[in-house]
Amino acid sequence: MLPFGTFGSCVASRRDYEWSMTTSGGSRPRRSEAGLLGPRVTQEFLDRLAARVAASGRAEPIPVEMPATGALLGEVPHSTPEDLATAAEDGRTAQRDWARVPVTDRAKVLFRFAKLVLDREAELLDVIQLENGKARRDAFEEIIDVAQVCRYYARSAPSLLQPHRRAGALPVLTQTSEYHHPKGLVGVISPWNYPLTLGITDALPALVAGNAVLAKPDTKTPYSALFAAELLEEAGLPPGLLQVVVGPGQELGSSVIALSDFVMFTGSTRVGRSVAAQAAERLIDYSMELGGKNAILILADADLGKAVSGAIRAAFSNTGQLCISMERMYVAAEVWRRFTRRFVAATRALRLEHAFDYRPDLGCLISAGQLATVARHVDDAVAKGATLLAGGRARPDLGPYFYEPTILTDTTPDMALYSEETFGPVISLYRVSGAEEAIERANDSNYGLSFSVWTRDLARGRDVASRLEAGSVNVNEAYAASWGSVDAPMGGWKESGVGSRHGQNGLLKYTDAQTVAVQRVLPIAAPNFVSQETYARAMTVAMRALQRLPGRK
């Protein structure tokens, strides 16, 4: 048995709820009138957040489960397509005034919001853990990420959005400027795995750029986005600018796309294709982060102590439910035996538990469906000959959706997890002859989101990284270095996405670029007193002269 921790920390939460029958005869969780759900979260607090959902109340409310226990956390209103239309109209009304607010004042809202996120850190961590089931150390990453993104766009937005002079058609005579205007209404469709980070950080640059946002968080994790919306208004965001709607994607996704001027989507590649098709039909822009089958490369000269620690983070952070976590590991033959032995031992020592403190290393999976996918992938691989080095089983003794961190080797292309995204605490190890084989095999995938390389030779690490077909590559880090470098773009190649978040494009994509050219003294045309032929000859001479100026080739 693996030395994972016990589940004593959720007993109080489990007592807070009871299961009963609805009046219609179907089984449905019902809340008792209990107090604290977590150390700092009450049902009254969650109900206040739920009241922020843009919904008329005509549809049945949506139950939100506590994944760690299977108990009911709360219920949120169920938005309908008609509610979305109203929310979009309200957002557009608020946006017209917001766009006229100086960008420096819009940026101040982000600065104040970042402070509030840090001030309310403990409550935010509780909410994230309650609705997602992740370990507190993984929830903390979301707090730091939101604060960092806020700081970056609050500081950079004024310079990025101010008019910029561009080279004119004719030097001196043509004065050309580039302007950026807000798109209008931005739709943000976010998943459940990072409910605060993905629920709000894509909205922040859209808001500071002068847009309104129609946000649709996943129905499994709506409270983090709603909490962020409350804090944004406390920071000074005008009411109505950020509209939060809640409902299944198959019900509301098309409406979000139909009502928005730009769509930011994070989710599966399969759904991403549908989003792209609908956006293309309307001729609106979109950006998407999609699936991944990320690879970590352990080169022969890697520092094995650091590599083992990094590989643990790469494979098992957020219980493997991380778009940029690693599911494939290529290990050089020279260090295969030593690295594998240490990696397996470190994995078996991880603490699997739910607690509102920093002791657990891993939390639980999000749902019965995700647990089923993980178990199916592992069981299929083992049945077809894969070797199980650690984990490989569910832990219902800890909670309904706990699964041990799992290491496999001897996996082959006929196994589902060989090429499909598992999105759980499962990694497959492959022995390779060296860096060249590792690069070739890592690139042999339809996905290209985030890779990791471990070596003592940093120049070699950069060279290997530049040859990997992925939007982000970390050298001697699991994933946080590239993700945390918010001044640089973060996006996927191949089937892992279109466009990027972070960096300048993470803000400017939410704007329409406009060129304004002012022609002075002479027009760009032959004057009435000059023949067209003479004009053409003069322009040719002028162009030849321009080609000889520095910077013009």
| Active-site residue list | 289, 323
What is the residue-wise DSSP string for 82-100? HHHHHHHHHHHHHHHHHTT
- What is the side-by-side strand order in the sheet with 497-498? 242-244, 212-216, 185-189, 262-266, 285-289, 497-498
Residue 36 DSSP code: B
Length of the chain: 553
Contact 128, 144 (CB under 8 A): no
Burial 368-378 (b: 16+ CB within 10 A, else e): eebbebbbebb
For 163, the token pair is: 């008019």
Contacts of 190 (CB under 8 A, 6+ apart): 198, 199, 202, 215, 216, 217, 218, 225, 266
For 174, the token pair is: 């043509």
Q: How far apart are CA 132 and CA 226, in angstroms?
A: 14
Q: Provide the residue type at 420 as one letter.
A: E
Vertex 114 angle, CA 113 and 118, to 5°: 115
Question: CB burial class (10 A; 0-12, 13-18, 19+) of residue 476?
Answer: middle
Q: Which helix (H) or strand (E) covers residue 546, if one does?
A: helix 532-547
Q: How far apart are CA 452 and CA 162, in angstroms?
A: 37
Q: How far apart are the first and last CA of the chain?
A: 69
Nearest to 73 by CA among 154, 111, 128, 118: 128
